[in-house]
Amino acid sequence: MKNFLVHNEETVSEMLESIGLKSLEDLFKQIPNEARMQNLPLDDALSEMDVQRRVKSIAKKNNSDRICFMGGGVYNKFIPACVGDIARRWEFLTAYTPYQPEISQGTLQIMYEFQTMICKLTGIDISNATVYDGASACAEAVLMAVRISKKSKVLVSERLNPEYLKVIQTYTWAGDIEVELFDKVPENTADYACVLIQTPDYYGEIAEIGVLEDVQCLKIVCCDVSSLSLLATPCEYGADIAVGDIQSLGIPMNFGGPHAGFLACREKYMRQLPGRLAGKTVDKDGNDAYTLTIQTREQHIKREKATSNICSNQALIGLCANVYLSLLGENGFKQAGYLSAKNAHSLADGLKNKGYKILTENFYNEFVVETPDADKFLAKLSEQDIDGGIKLDDKRILVAATEMNTQDEISKYISIV
């Protein structure tokens, strides 16, 4: 628990005087009385020592030491300790966005290296320096396709992460863009701005490599970036735009966020790319120098002239991904992906041998299992401190495994159900 200093009466008086006010009541008088909280039922004040004891006793009620088989877009991945140590250095950990970015050469270098890593992983020409999360990356990619094609209808796979779909529908509703869902890509796609698929999809199924071969509009592929250690890249699917979330690259689950997303595209579309884009050049002395590039300043300060309302980026989370990938290297990254897939298939095979039906045929580290009663199935596991998956309906459960799951944990899961 961190200690803190409150404002004393002298400090409060100085602050009020600096803005020409005499009392705190003057500060808040513009707020109507009916909008104010009249009574705040607080216990009597405690000493700092007693507060620490009280907070610690409450915190102990949290049971965070559970075995996790949850997925659905957020995964329990191994994070080397020094990822957090480096990210928390004072040079990086700041709430301030560098509006004169050329001064912040270290931050710009991180952004540039992040972009380079995403390009190598996806096989796509150019990447931005993160967006807010995978959902906003999908929505921004759809808007980008609409701007490029000047068409107002888009095709989105119904097997996309449902949270991503909700964000897309919010963005497109405001822009009068029509979203059509599909299970199988239609034969005629020429009248659409884009087709968006996810692979592996929300249910863990890996798409066939030629699924977008005959598509006559822009192709957007959303992917789990950790799966690119083993599976085909968006480039191999013929993607014009690649998107996804980077939570699996050294970012804690954080109860669902904050995370960050990536958005990469072919070079010819780079001027429609939302968010920040860092470039590398040389200064007058011939030294390496980094700068924001391609986009005009209006991208960040004038909403009506910007290609997107995303004016910043998740630089700190991008830094974590940089450190994570640098520490693991190519071989370590592949090993983490291999172990995730191995553990998931081991669990699926064990459940199948007990008579459960596995509904996902070709999967990486996530699959759907059919049970007689999903609530009872998950309740049995929860009693043994196992988060067994995400309930999809009364019978189906989405289950994921990562390199963090041991064989003993997998065996325990199978024995309980």
CATH (domain of 284): 3.40.640.10
In a domain, 238, yes or no: yes
**SS3 at position 96:** coil
Residues 94 and 135 reside in one and the same domain: yes
Residues 266 and 342 reside in one and the same domain: no
Q: How much is the pLDDT for 326?
A: 94
Q: What are phi and psi of 35, to 5 degrees?
A: -95, -5
Residues 97 and 243 reside in one and the same domain: yes
In a domain, 61, yes or no: no
In a domain, 60, yes or no: no
Residues 318 and 339 reside in one and the same domain: no
Residues 95 and 106 reside in one and the same domain: yes
Q: How much is the pLDDT for 45?
A: 86
Distance CA 129, CA 116 (A): 10
Q: How much is the pLDDT for 298?
A: 55
Q: How far is CA 177 from the centre of its chain?
A: 24
Phi-psi region of 67 (alpha: psi -120 to 50; beta: other; left: phi over 0): beta
Residues 95 and 183 reside in one and the same domain: yes
In a domain, 20, yes or no: no
Q: How many CA atoms are closer than 13 Å to the CA of 266, on its beta-carbon side?
A: 13
Q: How many CB atoms lie within 10 A of CB 213?
A: 11
Boundary residue ending a domain (322, 353, 368): 322
Residues 74 and 90 reside in one and the same domain: no
Cis peptide before 162 (omega within 30 of 0): no
Boundary residue ending a domain (302, 322, 342): 322
Cis peptide before 186 (omega within 30 of 0): no
Residues 277 and 257 reside in one and the same domain: yes
Query: For the chain, what's the residue count?
Result: 417
Per-residue pLDDT of the chain (417 residues; tens, 9 = 90+): 456 667 788 889 999 999 999 998 898 888 988 888 877 888 888 888 898 899 999 988 887 789 999 999 999 999 999 998 998 888 787 666 555 666 678 888 989 999 999 999 999 999 999 999 999 999 999 999 999 999 999 999 999 999 999 999 999 998 899 999 999 999 999 999 999 999 999 999 999 999 999 999 999 999 999 999 999 999 999 999 999 999 999 999 988 888 999 999 999 999 899 888 899 999 899 999 998 888 765 555 566 667 776 666 788 899 999 999 999 999 999 999 999 999 999 999 999 999 999 999 999 999 999 999 999 999 999 999 999 999 999 999 999 999 999 999 999 999 999
In a domain, 23, yes or no: no
Yes or no: say if 222 and 196 are a contact pair by the CB < 8 Å rule.
yes
Residues 346 and 299 reside in one and the same domain: no
Residues 97 and 230 reside in one and the same domain: yes
Quickly list DSSP for 97-126. Answer: --SSGGG-HHHHHHHHHHHHHHHHHH--SE
Q: How many CB atoms lie within 10 A of CB 30?
A: 6
Beta-strand relationship, 218-222 and 366-370:
unpaired
Q: Which two tokens stand for residue 25?
A: 């009541």
CATH number at residue 393: 3.90.1150.10
CB burial of residue 60 (10 Å; 0-12, 13-18, 19+): exposed
Long-range Cβ contact pairs of 323-329 (< 8 A, separation 24 or more): 323/80, 323/82, 323/83, 323/86, 323/87, 323/250, 324/79, 324/80, 324/83, 324/249, 324/250, 325/117, 325/249, 325/250, 327/80, 327/82, 327/83, 328/80
Boundary residue ending a domain (322, 351, 385): 322
Q: How many CB atoms lie within 10 A of CB 158?
A: 13
In a domain, 58, yes or no: no
Which domain range does residue 242 map to?
Answer: 81-322
Q: How much is the pLDDT for 93?
A: 78
Residues 180 and 237 reside in one and the same domain: yes
Q: How many CB atoms lie within 10 A of CB 303?
A: 9
Yes or no: say if 326 and 311 are a contact pair by the CB < 8 Å rule.
no
Structurally, the chain folds into a number of domains equal to: 2
Q: How much is the pLDDT for 97?
A: 58
In a domain, 365, yes or no: yes
In a domain, 407, yes or no: yes
The model's pTM: 0.85
Residues 353 and 262 reside in one and the same domain: no
Q: What are phi and psi of 134, to 5 degrees?
A: -65, -35
